[in-house]
């Protein structure tokens, strides 16, 4: 089994097309097909199912893909470390709600203990950073656990805190003192998680799915839109603790309690963290637990 065969297999799975993969890798389509066939022959198993619409994984291919993807990612990381002269890198992803306090505090302590480790910090929502953990671009990401989504067997989740979700609006909003979720039905909504997550949270309150929900993946844009319009948003409670937010935005004190979200660290299930990465994970967990569970 050659590394080139593993590379070819992973690239085909990613693109879903042998012809597209051949173009991307700069190889001939017959050559790529031969490489994949040789891999299946050596393993004695059919990994890929060819269909008119593309290529999908067989049941055995799915199991093989989970293992080999992690292994290939570790090999790529080892190559990168050698290229850096053996210097270790730790890469942490995190959502915008955790960028103001948890991450800076953890990084400052981490730097005292590991001054020579290269550190990469990537801010983004969970649905964007979790795939980066899965393919080993990131070592871990601090994000809520996605509700109503089946757990990915390639990932493990370490919970830190359970966060309440609240409805917020600008100060002076016509609905600022609303007590019933039903009175919010006609509003336009912003969401910093997936649209379906926000719609599910609103349905739990008895609010029909709004006609307009704007997905906003930028904290600064959400802050500005909320402060300058009559839009409403469902957010996790740390939102109001962020710098300058509470001056312009307030919670709408509806009587109904919204379903919460559990936030924690998402890591690959079959690849242990390096010593520096494990140390950063402990710092993020300890500081996050202290800050998020206060009160």
Q: How many residues does the chain have?
A: 295
Which strands sit side by side in the sheet containing 165-170, from one edge to the other? 213-215, 189-191, 232-236, 165-170, 249-251
Q: Tell me the average pLDDT across 196-224.
A: 80
**Residues 141, 158 contacting (CB under 8 angstroms):** no
What's the Rg (C-alpha) of the chain?
23
Look at residue 64 and tell me whether its pLDDT is greater than 80. Answer: yes
Residue spans of the domains in the chain: they are 3-83, 89-163+262-292, 165-259
CA distance 290 to 4: 46
Percent of the chain predicted with pLDDT > 90: 32
User: Tell me: domain 165-259, CATH 3.40.50.620, correct?
Assistant: no
Structure tokens at 35: 């490489």
Structure tokens at 6: 């593993």
pLDDT at 267: 95
CA distance 140 to 133: 6
pLDDT in tens, 70-101: 777 767 666 666 665 556 789 999 988 888 88
Q: What is the pTM of this model?
A: 0.69
Look at residue 159 and tell me whether its pLDDT is greater than 60. Answer: yes
Largest separation between any pair of C-alpha atoms in the chain: 69
pLDDT at 85: 58
pLDDT at 228: 94
Q: Across the strands, what pairs with 162?
A: 262
Structure tokens at 179: 């007590």
CA distance 284 to 129: 16
Q: Which CATH superfamily is domain 89-163+262-292 in?
A: Periplasmic binding protein-like II (3.40.190.10)
Strands 118-123 and 155-163: unpaired
pLDDT in tens, 181-198: 888 878 888 887 677 777
Q: Do 3-83 and 89-163+262-292 share a fold?
A: no
Strands 89-94 and 140-144: parallel
Q: Among all chains, which residue has been given the structure tokens 């590379």?
A: 7
Whole-Å CA distances, 79 to 103, 193, 271, 295: 28, 35, 16, 46
CATH assignment of 3-83, given 1.10.10.10, 1.10.510.10, 1.10.1740.10, 3.40.50.720? 1.10.10.10
Structure tokens at 186: 């006609």
Look at residue 264 and tell me whether its pLDDT is greater than 70. Answer: yes
């Amino acid at each position: 089994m050659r590394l080139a065969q593993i590379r070819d297999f992973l690239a085909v799975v990613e693109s879903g097309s042998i012809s597209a993969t051949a173009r991307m890798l700069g190889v001939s389509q017959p050559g790529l097909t031969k490489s994949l066939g040789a891999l299946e022959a050596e393993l004695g198993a059919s990994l890929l199912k060819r269909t008119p619409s593309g290529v999908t994984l067989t049941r055995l291919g799915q199991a093989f893909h989970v293992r080999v993807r992690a292994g290939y990612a570790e090999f790529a990381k080892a190559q990168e470390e050698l290229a850096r002269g053996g210097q270790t890198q730790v890469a942490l992803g995190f959502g915008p709600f955790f960028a103001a306090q948890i991450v800076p505090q953890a990084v400052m302590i981490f730097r005292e203990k590991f001054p020579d480790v290269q550190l990469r910090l990537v801010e983004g929502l969970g649905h964007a950073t979790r795939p980066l953990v899965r393919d080993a671009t990131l070592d871990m990401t601090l994000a809520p656990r996605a509700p109503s989504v089946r757990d990915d067997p390639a990932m493990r989740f370490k919970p830190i805190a359970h966060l309440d979700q609240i409805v917020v609006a600008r100060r002076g909003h016509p609905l600022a003192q609303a007590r019933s979720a039903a009175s919010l039905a006609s509003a336009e909504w912003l969401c910093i998680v997936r649209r379906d997550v926000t719609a599910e949270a609103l349905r739990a309150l008895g609010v029909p799915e709004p006609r307009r929900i704007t997905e906003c993946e930028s904290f600064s844009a959400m802050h500005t839109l909320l402060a300058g319009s009559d839009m409403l948003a469902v957010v996790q409670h740390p939102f109001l603790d962020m710098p300058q937010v509470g001056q312009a935005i307030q919670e709408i004190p509806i009587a109904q309690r919204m379903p919460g979200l559990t936030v924690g660290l998402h890591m690959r299930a079959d690849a242990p963290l390096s010593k520096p990465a494990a140390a950063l994970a402990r710092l993020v967990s300890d500081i996050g637990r202290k800050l998020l569970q206060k009160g």
